[in-house]
Amino acid sequence: MDFTTIFTGIQESLSATMSNYSLGDILAILLGTFALSVRVGRLYRRTHKGINYNQGYVQTLVVMGGIIAMIMLILGSDVAKAFTMMGAFSIIRFRNNMKETRDIGFIFLVMAIGMAMGTKLYLLAALGALVMSAIIYGMYRFDWFAQKKKGRILTIRIAPKKFEDGLFDKIFEKYGVKADFLGYEGVKKEDLIQISFSVQIGQKTNVPSLLAELQERNGNEKISLSYAS
């Protein structure tokens, strides 16, 4: 399959599309797809967590819905034309990896909306967008499938002469903390060592009280607790 064949097929498909759809149909499909894709974009922004929010990605979601609808208008119900278009799109390569796996789900959602709108399945597009949006928001609102214990990194500084195996075990046990020893290293310019643990802390754990007891045990030296990357 060469480019001449591909673009000849596209040209024929465009001619067939203009004969099968009125201008009103095309405008309704594109504007309806835009409206639904905008709702998906707003939902993504509303439910996004973290600091890696990408405005360009959300704008791409909105544009992608319209592009897919246009492709479906071109393809119609001709399977041969569909394979022709897939041959054209097979040359596209994406350089950027998705930073969050949920981003892929939003891409497929706007693709499905565009496909449904492009084939004039308006009710399917509207209900599908509504139901999936409700599910996505519900997972965000009620924090579905979140781990009951969050993984964190605990670092404790202590004088070498005070450190011994199992020094903090009773405190961890008291607060229901699962701790795995990662290692230790010397602290420059101080006669101290820094011990690192991978810890899982329950959502209801009194973290300030936990840290206070650990600090009493280590001689009031520095303690830090951060989320595992």
pLDDT digits (tens, 9 = 90+) for 126-180: 999 999 999 999 999 998 887 766 678 999 999 888 888 889 999 999 999 999 9
Q: What pLDDT, in 10s, does the model give residues 169-219? A: 999 999 999 999 998 888 876 789 999 999 988 878 899 999 999 999 998
Q: What pLDDT, in 10s, does the model give residues 214-229? A: 999 998 899 999 876 5
Q: Are 192 and 219 within 8 A, CB to CB?
A: no
Instruction: Please report, for the chain, the start and end positions of each structural domain, with discontinuous segments joined by +.
Output: 3-141, 149-227
Class of domain 149-227: alpha beta
pTM exceeds 0.85, yes or no: no
The tokens describing 94, both together, are 């994406």
